[in-house]
Structure 1
Amino acid sequence: MSHEPQAAGNAAEQELRDTLGTAIGTAQEHLLQNGGFLPFGITMSTDGELRIVLVTPDEPDEDGHLDAEQMLADVQELLKQGRNDYRAVAVAYDASLPEHGCDGITGAAEHRDGTVLAAIVPYHVTDDGFTFEPMEPDTHEPSVWVD
């Protein structure tokens, strides 16, 4: 009896965890160092190397706000265009979490085999910077390995 499918599933799960963990960790670092972050992606190449994917925002609107939704869409489009070179990808973005009464890091990872893993990390602004609540599972629909 072969254990290859289970081993492949375990490898995909670990790749999702690594990619999502890198995205959330990077977002936390940017919050702590810069006070915020813009949407970005993380890719895991076919040889297992992790890289960050950034896009340049359009000009701010008249109130000085950047279009983070458009930036996220641009990141997702770049990930989709390069998907043949990746085993897994993740996106991270800042989101309002009304049920928590705060903002949170939202992260979602996809594997080329179709599996997804998503989480949120609520955070609060404090006098000393930020405090992060424990990571919670979230839902996510595949968007990279779909046509």
Structure 2
Amino acid sequence: MESVKIENLLEKYFQGETSIAEENELRNYFSSLDVAQHLEQYKPIFGYFSLAAAHQFTPKIPPQSKKRNVAWISIAASVVVLLGIGTYAYYSADVVNKSQDLGTYDDPEEAFRATQKALSLLSDNVNVGIESVQYIQEYQTTKDKIFINAKKQSGGS
């Protein structure tokens, strides 16, 4: 009679429909010595669960070491931040000093030649830009003509 009940519980167990109390009943049955012969094949499954439940994990690393690591990491992070700020301040001050020396000439003739060269370069670039604008204007007028003719041919307004 008991083996029929256990077989029904096993079927419910493998379908995932058992309650915790029923699973405990199965575990108790298969951990006992009087298991039916035809149910012996399920004994290792429930025996493993009983063995695993008895096994407990004991940590080997003391938790105090984490606190020391956090302190050292925060000190190292502070040093890195201070080095970054110092490096930025050093190089930004150097760039400001270099930018103040630009554009000064002692000889007026040399300054005049440099100014003429810069204005010539600027003029060349402006002329290239004006030519590009002329192409765009020509494209726009051609496009407008095409669309006006297309509207007239289709009978649109």
Is the shorter-chain TM-score for this pair beyond 0.5, marking a shared fold? no
Say which structure is richer in helix.
2
Tell which has more relative contact order, 1 or 2 (C-alpha 8 A, sep 6+): 1
TM normalised by structure 2 equals 0.20
Higher normalized strand content (fraction of residues): 1
